[in-house]
Structure 1
Amino acid sequence: MRRVGVAGASEDPRGSGRGALALLGVALLGAAAYANTFQVPFVADDLSSIVDNGLVRDLASYLPGGGGYAAARHRYVTYLTFALNYRLGGLEVAGYHLVNLLVHLANAALLFALVRGLFLAPRLARSALAPRRDAVALLAAALFVAHPLQTGAVTYVVQRLASLATLFYLLAAALYLSWRLRREAGLAAPGRYLGALLATLVAMKTKEIAFTLPLALLLLEASFFGRPGRRAWLGLAPFLLTLAVIPLTLLAPAGGAGLAGAEAAVRAGAWSRHDYLVTQVAVVGTYLRLLVLPVGQNLDHDYPLQTTLFAPALAGPVAAIAGLLGLAAALYRRTGPRAARGLDPAWRLVGFGILWFFLALAVESSVVPIDDLIFEHRVYLPSAGLLAGAAAAAVLGVSRLRPAWRRAGAAALVAVVLALATATFLRNRTWSSAVSLWTDAAAKSPAKARARLNLGKALVEAGRPGDALPEYAAALRLDPGSPDLRNDLGVALLQLGRYDEAIAQLRLAVQLAPDYADAHTNLGMAYARKGLLREATEEMRRGMQLQPGAAPAAP
């Protein structure tokens, strides 16, 4: 038995059961793709943000007024979850990965619900795909959960910042859509409206990428319900007011101890706004290429700064971006109510996905310089829209095939999803140890000092200080003025028993950075090994003054 849905689309009472089974399949696919990640160690910013962050070890500090609450106020929700992880399992990494995977699977489920619900909105309800909305939603969720580019936000523990913000972003959009559909049918749903508003506020306290969420809701309203009227603007107004939350939070005086690494608000880069924006044109081109062909993934891309939009390297990215935006505009025109020869309304979902992609990227790929020009985890939220649009386009394409070819087309889509899941599993192998991860990064970014430095550190921590020396030497050729490099090379030499060379490097480290606590402490250890007890005591005392409780690196 069938009944008429909210906006005229047919609803099947059995649909919820089929949807649940479909989501179970997506969850199993995601679990299989990430089955080899539970022992992936903490790396990179995980160390400063979780392992060495004393505030995370004190759950009470995240109560209002506590040090954790004050220091991570702009990303409070994510750091609270790290503190909960620590309370439940200490630094046992499997628990952190389990939470990240569950967040990823929840995001796939929310994307499924969002895409499915959009086919009940007025602009899509008459699409030929409306009866197949479960297929479109399932493909969108499967592409999202299986794509290897998502490993940057799922396998990399600290980038729960991106995946958790995406969860609340999608939850707000799904609840807003559900409320809007019920209102379209003359029904009240204040709980869904308030839930969407609460999810928006929580997203704003999870990561700054949520700043665009109210604008995404406005885009959703205009795309699938028509130009907003007075009543629609009244409904959107509270969401638009939340645009002030992140700026006000970032401008508020900081309290408590600052956190190193990823929890800094928006760290200004060493480049101008103009150069950063121009470079982001190329970066967005790289993101698009990785979404289409996820080959050459890298934790630490070595990306050249661009200073003019007319650089030859930007020709391809400019063409791709202009082409996508032009396609979105054409699809909106051709699916509008006044289109003379309109396309199937589902093509509007493709245009919406393109606009979602660029809107969601706007915080990190626009005029606000950030320390790093490119990071793969920044595509996590934007990809939700683009992959939903790709799913709609794919199902539209298959539906236009001759009946004899449709099964082959569907099989091809399944093959693509399975290939992506396999690529994700293989990419996660690279994350299996700090040595393998940084070996991969250094091989792909041989001229980047940081990749070489981190490979050297990983080798030292793995008990291979001799193998680390060539990496440090290469890094020093690229960045001879780095106190971190001098300190870490000194630690490696200390472990090898080459005390005079270690002392020379550690002296350089403290000369380059007189307040470098670890370098002073390690220099004290080197002096002690040489029997220079007075010098050792002086350096140890200096290190403890700069950082109480500091311990030397294990020799």
Structure 2
Amino acid sequence: MQKNIFLSAFISFMFNNKKAFWLVAIVAFAMLIFAYSNHWNNSFHFDDSHTVENNLYVRHIQNIPLFFKDCTTFSSIPSHGSYRPLVTTTLAIDYKLGETFSGKGYTPFWFHLSTFIFFLLQSILMWFFFKKILDKVSPESPNNFISLFAVVWYSLNPVMAETINYVISRSDSISTFFVVLAFVVYQYSSKSRKYYLYLIPILIGGLAKPTAIMFAPMLMVYHLLFEQEQSLLAFGKWKWDSLLKVALPAMAVFVFVYFLIKKMEEGMFEPGGSSLFEYVITQPYVYLHYISMFLLPLQLSADTDWGTFKSLSEFGSIIGFVFLILLIATVFITSKNKKQRPIAFGILWFLFALVPTTFVPLAEVMNDHRQFFPHVGTALALTWAAYLLLQNILKRIPAAAVFVVCFLFCTAYAYGTFERNKVWLNEETLWKDVSEKSPLNGRGLMNYGLALMGRGDYVGAENYFQRGLERWPYYSYLYINMAIVKEVTGKQNEAEYYYLKGLEYGKSYPNNYYFYGKYLYKQGKKEEAIGYLQQCLKMSSAQVDARYLLMDALYETKRLEELKILCNETLDILPSDAKAKAFLELAATGKSKAEIEETALALAPTADGYLNLSLSYYQAGNYEKCIEAAQKALSIKPNYAEAWNNICSANNALGRFKEGAAACEEALKITPGYALAKNNLQWAQKNLK
């Protein structure tokens, strides 16, 4: 008897005490802030390179109208030309904020801030969304707390960390936000239902990612379960006129957005997968993996090495379809009982959200960021199922213990997210994690090799590239990166071989033409380099590095009229571009390249810019100015082996071999395998004797 009184008091406290709710909500908010407190300066990763960092169009907000007309502005790789203008718009705004308040457009903080704001607003909306559903089926339950727990479980889950850390995957975050917003507007505004205003967020969300259109079937199920209060099996009892009144406008938006995106992406977007059959029969097992990761997120990987099943008889495929059948059976069973219908709705949300990535054979069988949208439903279904189960045993559990268990449960997930953010710190931490968890993934091995190459470990980089080639022998980027290692270590014949192999296997990738053009440029074959750089820009006008290198090559080969055209084209896209302005002045005034570069760098100093200026002065025979520019590069980036090498080369040219040797030794401390520095050091030491 005493326990029942205690239980009643506990339920009354949870349901009626608003102060207690706000206290718990504040604690939950603090936990979310803690969980992501170490992610604000995490670097750009993976597809961010071609959609953000090397995408010229996001560098000026005047290009925003263009994003809605031309999907090639989304990426510098043509085959990745997705129509997601809302995403590109937010990137341009973030770049502008970084440029204005941090002095550097590509400041990660601003990109992470906007993603996090969408995430935070979505979490708040989810509480309203869940509570309205639970109030419909069980108004006597403490639904404010139950809804809050579901939201906290979702938002603190490490599975979400990829979407929040990985800048370009904000497409999942933004589109999901608008889907939840549409439901909340539908639930709480009779005016929006009358005039179909709740469909506006779906029109907007579809411009972030087409998965938003799955709102239509979700709304139909919502209407049947919670407004008509019908079982999904009771077809004869469905009020079809009411259902069609809700369904037809939503389906009209579904069709409109689908065909708009299809039209805008025509001839551009390539999914990247192979066999549709193999891909589809693998997805049910992926569903099982996703649910297991939501519950126990211990094997998250930014780039998995999963392959597809070849037949339905494979064990994994069988397990997957058994799981799918169980999910569908659970949907129909729980839809019959009013109080259990949130479980049915949550499962169907999960399944509907995965439809777009189930029937389009993408290059990756699964991705962690694909879970962001589906797990809104997972959180609702699992939380409500747990509550219904706990109702029967709650009588034997002290109220304080419930709070403690929930707090510890959420703290564990928050800590997991905090630790997962560390993996996303930089390229080396991310791809080291991938190479360990997905050792059969050639791209993961390659990207870790790139991270090693970035800190001068060329032996380690070559080892990982070789391992990658053994697994993915036709992956063109692996050949290109192997070529770069061979080039840096002085093996020019091997470098040429790998560059050409990369082009052979990746004729449709503009970056391959850029890197080979860059190699030819360094080899003094500037006329040949121009052809490859022009081909790169023909395929992708957004490729920034190719534009700048082509400006250099056109100037040095005295093709000044072509240089003027290129500079003006660049300024049409990016009116404030300092390098284009500098080269335009160079072509018009006849000033030296070094003078123009120095003027531009005074306005926007960068370590790489001063390194290039140092090289320009060296090529012009002005060795003192070469040293001065390299020293300025070092003042910005102290551990810059290339800058020390330039100082070494210039001192050697001036006959100051002692200073030259000392500079090369500094370069080799930073990058022990640096071939040019080794050669320059040998030359200096030889002359010292």
Q: TM-score, normalised by structure 1?
A: 0.84
1:268 counterpart = 2:264 = no
Q: Which amino acid is 1:438 matched to?
A: W
**Structure 1 contact 171–199 (Cα < 8 Å) conserved:** yes
3-state SS of 2:135 partner: coil
Q: Which deviates further from its counterpart, 197-206 or 17-26?
A: 17-26
Q: Report the counterpart of residue 130 of structure 1 in structure 2.
A: 140
Distance in 2 (alpha carbons) for counterparts of 1:190 and 1:521? 51
Shift of 1:68: 5.2
Q: Report the counterpart of residue 122 of structure 2 in structure 1.
A: 107
Where do residues 320-399 of structure 1 align in structure 2 (5 Å cutoff)? 320-333=323-336, 335-336=337-338, 345=339, 347-365=340-358, 367-399=359-391
Shift of 1:269: 3.6
Q: Report the counterpart of residue 628 of structure 2 in structure 1.
A: none
Shift of 1:515: 7.1
Change in CA separation of 1:353 and 1:463 when aligned onto 2, cut-off 3 Å: same
3-state SS of 2:84 partner: helix
Change in CA separation of 1:17 and 1:208 when aligned onto 2, cut-off 3 Å: farther
Where do residues 26-105 of structure 1 align in structure 2 (5 Å cutoff)? 26-63=28-65, 71=73, 74-89=83-98, 90-105=105-120
Change in CA separation of 1:270 and 1:392 when aligned onto 2, cut-off 3 Å: closer
Q: Report the counterpart of residue 499 of structure 1 in structure 2.
A: 492
Deviations 1:422-467, CA, capped at 9 Å, x for gaps: 1111111111111111111111221221111111122223333332
Change in CA separation of 1:324 and 1:232 when aligned onto 2, cut-off 3 Å: closer
**Structure 1 contact 211–363 (Cα < 8 Å) conserved:** no
Q: Report the counterpart of residue 201 of structure 1 in structure 2.
A: 203
Where do residues 140-179 of structure 1 align in structure 2 (5 Å cutoff)? 140-179=150-189
1:283 counterpart = 2:298 = no
3-state SS of 2:326 partner: helix
**Structure 2 contact 220–246 (Cα < 8 Å) conserved:** no
Distance in 2 (alpha carbons) for counterparts of 1:507 and 1:501? 10
Shift of 1:403: 3.4
Distance in 2 (alpha carbons) for counterparts of 1:449 and 1:301? 10
Change in CA separation of 1:521 and 1:315 when aligned onto 2, cut-off 3 Å: closer
Q: Gaps (5+ residues) in structure 2?
A: 1-11, 75-81, 99-104, 229-237, 538-544, 550-607, 613-641, 643-689
Q: Which deviates further from its counterpart, 34-43 or 55-64?
A: 55-64
Q: Report the counterpart of residue 466 of structure 1 in structure 2.
A: 459
Change in CA separation of 1:515 and 1:300 when aligned onto 2, cut-off 3 Å: closer
Q: Gaps (5+ residues) in structure 1?
A: 1-9, 180-187, 259-263, 337-344
1:250 counterpart = 2:261 = yes
Shift of 1:497: 3.3
Q: Report the counterpart of residue 679 of structure 2 in structure 1.
A: none
- Mark the structure with the bigger radius of gyration: 2
Q: Report the counterpart of residue 531 of structure 2 in structure 1.
A: 542
Which structure's relative contact order is higher, taking Cα pairs within 8 Å and 6+ residues apart?
1
Shift of 1:478: 2.0
Report sequence identity in percent: 21
Q: Report the counterpart of residue 7 of structure 1 in structure 2.
A: none
3-state SS of 2:301 partner: coil
Deviations 1:276-328, CA, capped at 9 Å, x for gaps: 11011221121122112211110111112113222112233223222222122
Q: Which amino acid is 2:389 matched to?
A: G
Q: Which deviates further from its counterpart, 41-50 or 438-447?
A: 438-447
Change in CA separation of 1:302 and 1:65 when aligned onto 2, cut-off 3 Å: closer
| Count of paired positions | 509
Shift of 1:243: 1.3
Q: TM-score, normalised by structure 2?
A: 0.68
Deviations 1:201-245, CA, capped at 9 Å, x for gaps: 112222011121011111111111114453453244322211112
Distance in 1 (alpha carbons) for counterparts of 2:112 and 2:519? 38
Q: Which has the higher helix share?
A: 2
Report the RMSD for the aligned CA atoms in angstroms.
2.9
Distance in 2 (alpha carbons) for counterparts of 1:383 and 1:167? 13
Where do residues 439-518 of structure 1 align in structure 2 (5 Å cutoff)? 439-513=432-506, 518=511
Distance in 1 (alpha carbons) for counterparts of 2:248 and 2:509? 49
Shift of 1:143: 0.5
**Structure 2 contact 192–198 (Cα < 8 Å) conserved:** no
**Structure 1 contact 204–210 (Cα < 8 Å) conserved:** yes
